[in-house]
Every structure is written in C-alpha cells, then in structure tokens.
Amino acid sequence: MGKRVAVVLAGCGVFDGSEIHEASAALVHLSRGGAEVKIFAPNIEQRDVVNHLKGSPAEEKRNVLVESARLARGNIQDLAELKASEFDAVIFPGGFGVAKNLCSWAVDGKDCTVNEHVNSTLQAFHSAKKPIGLCCISPVLAAKVFPGCEVTVGQDKNVDGRFPDAETASAIAELGCKHVCKNVNESHVDKANKIVTTCAFMCKAPLHEIFDGIGTMVQEVLKLA
C-alpha cells in the first residue's frame, strides 16, 4: 500500500493562489511514487484576486477552497477536516496564495500570522513526527511555526539574477531558523524536524528543472514517511 499524503492548496494561480505548475509537479511525483493522495484547502476568502493577464487587482471576491477545487478536479476537502492520524505526510506547494491566504507573509513578512487550520495541520504532523514537504515560498510557514528548523528557499544572494527574492532567506534567519542554500534541482532535509524543502519558482529556472527539484522533495518526503 502506498504512503497516504495530504496536499494543501492555497487557491488557483500563481499571483493569488497555488502555483499551478508546482501543484501539478507535486501530484505527478506523488503518483509516480505510488502515494495515495487527498487534497485540502482552507474554506476562506482570498486576500485578493489578481487578473493574471494584466497582473493587476480584480474587483471581485473568490474562495480559496472553491478555487483550489479547479486544481483538484473537484476532489477536495476543507482543510478543517484534515486529520493527521489518517496520513503519513503533508505537502504544501507554493504560489503567492501561500503568502496571502495561508498566512500574511505577503503583507507582514516575518511578523506574519498563520491561518489557524494551517498552523494546527503543521503542528499535528510535526508532533506525530510525520514529514512535511514545502516548496517555493511555503517554507516560510515552517520557519514561522517551528523556530530553529532548517529550510531552503534557494540562495541567500541573487546569484546571476536567478534568485530575485533572496532576501526571504534573511527573514527566515531572523525568525531563528537556519536557511540552507540549495540549487533549484535540489531539496534540503531537516532530519530532526522531518521538514523537506525546495525552492521551485523562487529561482528563475526552466520549468523542467523546477519539476525535477520538486521531485527530489517528494522523494525525500516519501522516504521519511
């Protein structure tokens, strides 16, 4: 029987929800790894809605669970219903929705608050010593909830212009966590906390390299599960 993995989404679309390529990559690698997957999202209103064609705010309201259902092909549950006891691991793809809807990092940085159901989910898996996988911006969730943990969001300097959000590494360090520099095709494993992270679109890289990096994260999560 395959490992049971919960995947937590934050909407649909890079600028206000989950990054679609990252979510898809995680699901493909989980499928290849023989995992049994269930998808969740919080039943809350999005912080904002962005017109992805124009890159500008849209004057409308959308629900995170409803939008995430697009990625889940309709097969999704409210995050409030997730029970860590029923799973072996949990994975959080990235996208601005993580920093806007799952927490307030997009507005408050390291002083952000984390959604109550996201926080309780992370705490439950961590307490049960079950692995947590995060990519792109989502490692900040672990940095905020688990002071002292180790994560990567890529590099701590904008190497060759490929890591434009490198200052995130400094904010993670200010939270008392260790940032470990990794390339896009690598992941970092915090063995003590069973937290696996990879930078994904925090690096300006070809899509196949991002896909492969997420693959290493998923593989390490399944090994720990």
| Tokens linked to 49 | 């809605």
No. of helices (H) and no. of strands (E), the chain: 8, 11
3-state secondary structure of 92: strand
How far apart CA 216 and CA 186 sit, in angstroms, is: 6
Residue 167 makes CB contacts below 8 A (sequence gap 6+) with: none
Residue 73 makes CB contacts below 8 A (sequence gap 6+) with: none
The β-bridge partners of 37 are 5
**What residues act catalytically?**
136
Give the type of residue at 208.
H
Residue 9 makes CB contacts below 8 A (sequence gap 6+) with: 17, 18, 23, 39, 40, 41, 64, 68, 71, 72, 76, 93, 97
How far apart CA 17 and CA 20 sit, in angstroms, is: 9
Rounded to a whole number, what is the largest CA-CA distance in the chain?
Answer: 46
Q: State the number of CA atoms in the 13 A half-sphere of 126 facing the CB.
A: 18
Beta strand 178-179 with 150-151 is parallel
